[in-house]
Every structure is written in structure tokens, then in C-alpha cells.
Amino acid sequence: MKVVVTGASGNVGTALCRVLTDAGDSVVGVARRVPPNSPGWVTCDIGAPAAEVVLRRAFEGADAVVHLAWAVQPAPGEPDMRRTNITGSAHVLRAAERAGVPHVVVASSIAAYTPSSTPVNEDWPRGGVPGSAYSAQKVELERMLEGRAGVAVVRPSAVVQPDAGAEIGRWSLSPLIPPRVLGRRWLPVPLWPGLRAQVVHAEDVAGAIVVILRRHAVGAFNVAADPPLRAPEFARAFGGFLLPVPLVVLRAVAWPTWRLGLQPAHPGWLRLADQVSLVDCGRLRALGWAPEHAPQEALESFVTAVAEGRGTWGPLAPRRRSWWRRLGFGRPVHQSQGDVR
């Protein structure tokens, strides 16, 4: 197969390109930043006005397009989230249609679901989690897909892999906290007791996409590994001990520290982590998919990579900047994750 992957330099994109290449497929990677000396890649900012022309050219003759490009936690100087996530996705979908691509796989998220107290399947309403820009834009993306033929939607839970350790560490850790302290037994981990979340390895998400491509499947598919992890298990993965703190207190601290640039995680991420639904993956398993990585082991290997500042290239690569250069000094270091609706 010839498969074009947008967002090929990201967390899931790098894993998918590895899996497809190892299987002998022809892969074209599309990204704003491409690896050096890589003739099979296309440089494209999907939100730019001329992106659709570039994308259509890249999509010509493709058996499938996998759309993974998404601005998760962009810095203030980078393109606006909506420009990339909504305008950029519209460019990708129109270009694929005009190039005659028969199969398009789009990465959404379990964050698109309306919160539920019990695990949900793919038919659960998609109203999103109020207070989260990430969730609201995934909901808007899925509305763009309604009525389109030949489209599959994957909705993964939180995705981790060691290669993304440096990037996700920058997204979530304050520069005032040295990453190397992660994994130390004396480290208290402040979390609210009600936390529960599903975690899946990026290679398992890539494996799910490959199954969908091979079977030319359409429709929606949840992608997560069981069992869900709870607060004590997250604390154990980070190597310390659980320090129970009410969510309202954590959110009260997160807002001013984010606003002043002392730490990068907007309180919208806490709201999302607290209310995101757990999902049932029976539909994907019926196609023959099963995760190869246990969630606790995947999380622990990822935390080790964060502590070591591990990454590959491009957006996943480590940034060798002193801690004080990563502070905002009164301004946020990432765009707001507040509700955009």
C-alpha cells in the first residue's frame, strides 16, 4: 500500500511510520518539520492557505491517508490551535477527496465523548468535556467527518511511548522540577483520589490503524488498553507515593502558575483528565486487534524516558535549554486549553 501520514513526526505518527515501513508499505510522511535527508517526506503546514494544493499533490495515487496532525500543546509563537486543528483538518479532508483517495483514517480521541460514569462504546454521544479546548476541537473535527464515505475514525485514550518522553515532559512538567527526580521513591505525587484513566502505547495505536487499513474498515473505533489506571497506580509509575489532594485545590493552584508561566499545564487538562470517559474496545478487537503493551508497563517505561529527557527528532527531540529559559516570567508558555466553545 501507499499510505500518506499527516503529523508523521508526532507521537503516534512516528510509531505508525515505523510499523508500516517494517511491513513493506510505501509511506509518505507529511509534517511541518521533516527529518534531514528524507526524500519520502513532504513539508507542509496544513493550516496554511496554500496547504490544500501541497496536500493534494502528496495524496495523488495514495491507497489511504492517515490524518494524525494535531496541535496539542503549542507555544504562543506557533500557529493557533484552531488554525491547525480545524482549518488544517478541513484542508486535509478536501485534498483527499479531490485526489480520489479511497480510504481516510482520522485520529480523534476519547475526549470527544460526553462524560460517563461507565465505559462507553462508539455510539455514545460526542458532546465533549466542558472546559477543555482539546475536547471541544475533537468534537468539532468529528462533526466535519459526518456523512463522508470511506472514513474511519480512531478514538485513542492517553497515548505514551518512550520516544515522546522529552516532548510530553515539556508539555506537563514545570521547569522548576528537574525531570530526573521522577522515579525516586521519596517523590510525593499530588493527585486527586478519583482519578482513573486508560493508557495505551503508541505502537498499539499504530497497530490498530494498520488493522483498519488492511481491512479497509470504516466507522469509529475506540483504542485503549485495560485495565484503567487509578491514582495509586499513577503515583507508583512516577516512582513516588500518592499525596491525596482534592481536584479543586489542584485546579486552584494550576491556574495562576500556568498564567505566570511557572508550569505548562493549563487547568483544562485537569478537568479533562477527571471527566474523560472510559471506553470499550470490543469493535476493534472484533477486527483482530489486541494491545501488546500492558498499560502500567507502558506508563512506567514512558516515565523513565521523561526522566531521562529521551526523544527522537523534530518535535519529539530533547531541547537543551536551561530551566530559567523555559519559564514564562509572567506569561503562559503554551496556548490556553480553556473551553473555546
CB 136 within 8 A of CB 294: no
Task: Report whether pLDDT(305) > 80.
Answer: yes
Cα angle value 186/191/197 (rounded, 5°): 115
* Res 339: pLDDT: 66
Task: Report whether pLDDT(340) > 60.
Answer: no
Q: Which of 18, 76, 73, 5 has its CA nearest to residue 44?
A: 5
Which is higher by pLDDT, 40 or 189? 189
Give me the mean pLDDT over the 123-128 stretch: 98
Task: Report whether pLDDT(287) > 60.
Answer: yes
CB 142 within 8 A of CB 111: no
Confidence band for 320, pLDDT divided at 50, 70 and 90: confident
CB 86 within 8 A of CB 140: yes
Which is higher by pLDDT, 340 or 266? 266
pLDDT tens for residues 133-190? Answer: 999 999 999 999 999 999 999 999 999 999 999 999 999 999 999 999 999 999 999 9
* Res 252: pLDDT: 96
Mean of the per-residue pLDDT values for the chain? 96
pLDDT tens for residues 50-66? Answer: 999 999 999 999 999 99
Q: How far apart are CA 70 and CA 31, in angstroms?
A: 10
Q: How far apart are the first and last CA of the chain?
A: 39
User: Which three cell numbers mark 255?
Assistant: 491556574
Q: Is the pTM of this model over 0.85?
A: yes
Q: What would the DSSP string read from start to end of 186-226?
A: T-EEEE-TT-EEEEEEHHHHHHHHHHHHHHT--EEEEE-EE
User: Which three cell numbers mark 102?
Assistant: 479511497
Confidence band for 327, pLDDT divided at 50, 70 and 90: very high
- How crowded is residue 121: how many other Cβ atoms within 10 Å of its Cβ? 13
- Amino acid making up residue 33: R
* Res 239: pLDDT: 86
pLDDT tens for residues 68-118? Answer: 999 999 999 999 999 999 999 999 999 999 999 999 999 999 999 999 999
Q: Which of 224, 221, 278 has its CA nearest to residue 106?
A: 221
pLDDT tens for residues 225-278? Answer: 999 999 999 999 998 899 999 999 999 999 999 999 999 999 999 999 999 999
Q: What percent of the chain has pLDDT over 70?
A: 99
pLDDT tens for residues 182-195? Answer: 999 999 999 999 99
**DSSP 3-state of 28:** strand
* Res 107: pLDDT: 98
* Res 263: pLDDT: 97
Q: Is 248 exposed, middle or buried (0-12, 13-18, 19+ CB in 10 A)?
A: exposed
* Res 314: pLDDT: 85
pLDDT tens for residues 2-26? Answer: 999 999 999 999 999 999 999 999 9
* Res 341: pLDDT: 47
- Amino acid making up residue 248: V
- Amino acid making up residue 72: V
